[in-house]
Chain A
Amino acid sequence: MRVNFTVNGRPQEADDVWEGESLLYVLRERLGLPGSKNACEQGECGSCTVRLDGVPVCSCLVAAGQVEGREVVTVEGLAEYARQRACGTDACGMSHVTRDTSKNWQPKPPSDSHTGEGTELSPIQQAFIDAGAVQCGFCTPGLLVAADEMLEHNPNPTDADIREALSGNLCRCTGYEKIMDAVRLAAARQGEAV
């Protein structure tokens, strides 16, 4: 089957999709967006978390056909998504992209491909780096999408709020302490910026 949907503001078209494929598989293997991770593929670990029409979901549990006509934001589009949110909806302009231009779309501005230096990051991404919340990094994309979504509707979370919001995202490396630090840091920086 063919699936048409929007990913990170760009219209996308996936062909020859087998009906049993998940949104995660289509993103990773058909659209070249492997940032969403495949740690469990059974909805338990949150590493594949994306926004589907704004709602955080495990993309491994979403059948590809279910996303027809809908909007998906992945970790690759998180910086741009946060930028748009910060400067108001229409002011920054994002939606007038055609399928043809989207084919050449790169999820990042030109940067050092070896280290990613110079890449524009969202506040939560920067906070994860600064707080030491990244070790192996396999849980990181899902946690970033989930944490960003929480801060969107709860800019001043308590520790209990953070733990509740991120309880669907497993991390095996960090013991979560630095992830807590990162979310607190992002919230604090967000507060200072207002």
Chain B
Amino acid sequence: MPTNSAPLGTPTKVTQGSQTRGGIGESTLRPDGTLKVTGEFAYSSDMWHEDMLWGQILRSPVAHAEIVSIDTGEALAQPGVYAVMTYDDLPTEVKNYGLEIQDTPVLAHGKVRHHGEPVAIVAADHPETARRAAAKIKVEYRELPVITDEASATAPGAVLVHENRDDHHIGHVPHPNIVHRQPIVRGNADEAAKRADVIVKGEYYFGMQDQAFLGPESGLAVPEEDGGVHLYIATQWLHSDLRQIAPVLGLPEDKVRMTLSGVGGAFGGREDLSMQIHACLLALRTGKPVKIVYNRFESFFGHVHRHPARLYYEHGATREGKLTHVKCRIVLDGGAYASASPAVVGNASSLGIGPYVVDDVDIEAIALYTNNPPCGAMRGFGAVQACFAYEAQMDKVAKQLGMDPVEFRKLNAMEQGTIMPTGQPVDSPAPVAELLRRVSAMPLPPERQWESSEGADVRQLPGGLSNTTHGEGVVRGIGYAVGIKNVGFSEGFDDYSTARVRMEVVGGEPVAVVHTAMAEVGQGGVTVHAQIARTELGVAQVTMHPANTQVGSAGSTSASRQTYVTGGAVKNSCELVREQVLDLGRRKFGTYHPAWATAELLLEGGKVVTDGGEVLADLVDVLGDEAVEIEAEWRHRATVPFDLHTGQGNGHVQYSFAAHRAVVEVDTELGLVKVIELACAQDVGKALNPLSVVGQIQGGTTQGLGIAVMEEIIVDPKTAKVRNPSFTDYLIPTILDTPTIPVDVLELADDHAPYGLRGVGEAPTLSSTPAVLAAIRNATGLELNRTPVRPEHLTGNA
């Protein structure tokens, strides 16, 4: 058993930044803003090269089948076609890839395991030529039975999605069609249940959500003279891609050069490879640059989705409203390949009871291998599904007890010092009750806003411009929810980042250049990293170097971690540069003023100053024609894996909390929902860029709204085929579907983190969905145990 003693943190003292404009805490504007509003920002799909070819992927039309034969002859004979490649054309013995488990074939080998699996690739001189050639590849399939859920996956004699597994989870899973299983047991839930005056059981279903980033998977691979390749790509983690790409190409990593192109959103959907290897293979085969751009239809098949989940919960509470115990079982559908499933299981289980004090828990989470679309990372990562279920349970228990749902939550809210189900103490502020207090204290939007002297403004009613109601049958409801998300990579992962910082005089001014491999995907990492450099180095001019693999890994733009971890790396490298600059100053000017040796020295406003504010030298003079450059790795405090049997272990770096209040109006006759307002309160530790923080919270909130009432990938349970791969049939919130989102930002420093900051991006995606569901339940009185809620669930016609 790991001990419960808190690891010692290293509180960060801010000594810099009071003078220099554009440092941390200010809402500085994005450095890429102008390029993005003028259309000049070069996204991965905008790449262009003289003589480039277009790549096209042929995908499986069925979910599970043996490949009997592939005939590429007719496709190859098409004018304008330069190459057609199948599994047999792969250049090395490494033919699979994967984030954790290398179970994903670059091109299908003898078998396809899900609808849309890549089977062959084509390069041609026009995208339409490539598409038509791909359609002429003849593939004969012999269909196999499909595994689609837990029952079919673990039935006696079930077909194995992957035979001969040799990954590191196979030893502890109860069935080869289960990727990973994580139990978490603490106290004695059965014994504690005897103290309960109320026991509430529930079964819930969370639908499959798509990241639906707007910039489709795309990139350009350019063959190089040394036999290598240069890939311009939109991804979340350049070095993770590189580690997976190079072995398949048979190239050393230094011959696969990667440069981050403009990334049109990510939300987890770019953690796995998509077209990277395919473009490189075709470029190396043809000797020409190859561009691949998915259309939206293909994008739905080209990346993993959020795991759909079945969740079984039992909560107990005393008459006084104290939780006695929680038992839960979370079954995540991982689809055909592992992707991030093991880590999603770790999150779903360890965060499975929410931000509450419960000493006696019995938790189990598993991820299945099925023939459904592969599922992996999406914003919130396992914690989202659990939050939907445990918050529904909290409302049910409160109702049974006759208590106000917010008061019941506050009564059980965790705080600093609470021990998690994993045995890990929460050793930084956990203002769960305070966030609930704040969000419920916000003024409510007025009732019946759509009413006016000229009649109803249908635009503000459920159904909107479809003009389905003028207010008849419309009922208002209010719901609350709160959630807990981990920040950073957990369970013992070496979650470091690297930053190279250079300081020199350019054009008579001291300039800092910050070079990291961080993937800017829209979140604003480039904005805050420049702010950190201004604060730490006291210069106005900071240049953000394009991200590439010429610098060490920054880790993934995932898990709400880049402001924390790459921000921490930038801060650390800046501090090292600052020390060298001060040493340089001491050598040059130390004899002129005793303060060089005795005072605490800062860099502020382009000058070396004492902590008393006395100016000692201009940075221009200190640096002269020298440049100071440091590249260094930085790590947050280490974590450990969860015990495979008890789930105990200090597995998480930091927690992040948000609470929502949803106000909805429901047309009960037609089952149409209008979300009127979705208020959020979140603790961010320290808002490095308040404007960006609020933008993250509003964006995450809206994705939670999407899975509450609109978004779901529909997979046919008989064939495991995707039925709605388009923005016509998979609906994400428009500006008409999205309400006002007032945000209350709390800043309680986490002394273990740089500047006390807390990762922001994911927490608001958790509690948004259950708050909307709670509001709809409040309006309709219906139980609603699945999300998204569709009209038929509200009218009783489901």
CA distance A44 to B728 in the complex (A): 6
List B residues 411-462 near A (Cβ within 8 Å).
457, 459-460
Q: List the A side residues contacting B215 at CB < 8 Å.
A: 37, 39, 136, 138
CA distance A85 to B738 in the complex (A): 32
Assess the A34–B37 pair: CB atoms within 8 A: no
The residue on B at minimum CB distance from A112 is B34
Return the CB mask of B288-309 against A: 1 if under 8 Å, else 0.
0000010111000000000000
What's the least CB distance linking B49 to chain A, in Å?
A: 12
Number of A interface residues, CB 8 Å?
66
Q: List the B side residues contacting A45 at CB < 8 Å.
A: 214, 296, 727
Q: List the A side residues contacting B790 at CB < 8 Å.
A: none
Given A39-B215, A47-B214, A136-B215 in contact, is the A115-B34 Cβ separation under 8 Å? yes
Return the CB mask of A88-127 against B: 1 if under 8 Å, else 0.
0000000000000000000110000011110101000110
Given A38-B293, A115-B31, A135-B522 in contact, is the A173-B265 Cβ separation under 8 Å? yes
Q: List the A side residues contacting B39 at CB < 8 Å.
A: 33-36, 74-76, 107, 141
Q: Which residue from A108, A170, A174 sits with its C-beta under 8 Å from B40? A: A108
CA distance A40 to B27 in the complex (A): 32
Number of B interface residues, CB 8 Å?
67
What's the least CB distance linking B765 to chain A, in Å?
A: 11
CA distance A27 to B742 in the complex (A): 39
Assess the B41–A172 pair: CB atoms within 8 A: no
Assess the A135–B702 pair: CB atoms within 8 A: no
Q: Is B556 an interface residue (CB 8 A)?
A: no
> Looking at chain B's contact residues, is the secondary structure mostly helix, strand, loop, or mixed?
loop
Given A125-B38, A132-B692 in contact, is the A167-B46 Cβ separation under 8 Å? no
Q: Which residue from A18, A135, A167 sits with its C-beta under 8 Å from B695? A: A135
Assess the B695–A178 pair: CB atoms within 8 A: yes
Assess the B726–A42 pair: CB atoms within 8 A: yes
> Looking at chain A's contact residues, is the secondary structure mostly helix, strand, loop, or mixed?
loop
What's the least CB distance linking A13 to chain B, in Å?
A: 19
Q: Is B212 an interface residue (CB 8 A)?
A: yes
Q: Which residue from B27, B459, B543, B699 sits with its C-beta under 8 Å from A174? A: B699
CA distance A170 to B733 in the complex (A): 8
CA distance A126 to B37 in the complex (A): 8
CA distance A162 to B728 in the complex (A): 22
Assess the A136–B735 pair: CB atoms within 8 A: no
The residue on B at minimum CB distance from A25 is B127
What's the least CB distance linking B773 to chain A, in Å?
A: 18
Q: List the B side residues contacting A14 at CB < 8 Å.
A: none
Q: List the A side residues contacting B741 at CB < 8 Å.
A: 175, 177
Assess the A134–B30 pair: CB atoms within 8 A: yes
Q: Which residue from A107, A128, A166 sits with its C-beta under 8 Å from B735? A: A166
Assess the B37–A135 pair: CB atoms within 8 A: no
Q: Is A32 an interface residue (CB 8 A)?
A: yes
The residue on A at minimum CB distance from B458 is A160
Q: Footprint of B on A, CB under 8 Å?
A: 18, 20-21, 28-29, 32-42, 44-45, 47, 74-76, 78-79, 107-108, 114-117, 119, 121, 125-126, 128-130, 132, 134-141, 144, 160, 162-164, 166-180
Instruction: Report 30 cross-chain contacts, Cβ distance below 8 Å, ordered by A residue.
Output: A20-B128, A28-B46, A37-B214, A37-B264, A40-B295, A42-B295, A79-B38, A107-B38, A108-B40, A116-B38, A119-B38, A126-B37, A129-B30, A134-B30, A135-B522, A136-B266, A137-B522, A163-B736, A164-B459, A167-B735, A172-B211, A172-B703, A173-B699, A174-B698, A175-B700, A175-B702, A176-B698, A177-B741, A178-B695, A180-B735
8 closest pairs, A vs B, by CB? A35-B39, A136-B522, A138-B264, A116-B34, A137-B36, A175-B698, A175-B702, A44-B727
Apart from the given pairs A34-B42, A40-B727, 11 other A-B contacts in the complex at a CB distance below 8 Å:
A34-B43, A37-B45, A37-B214, A39-B296, A40-B214, A76-B38, A136-B215, A136-B265, A137-B522, A175-B702, A177-B740
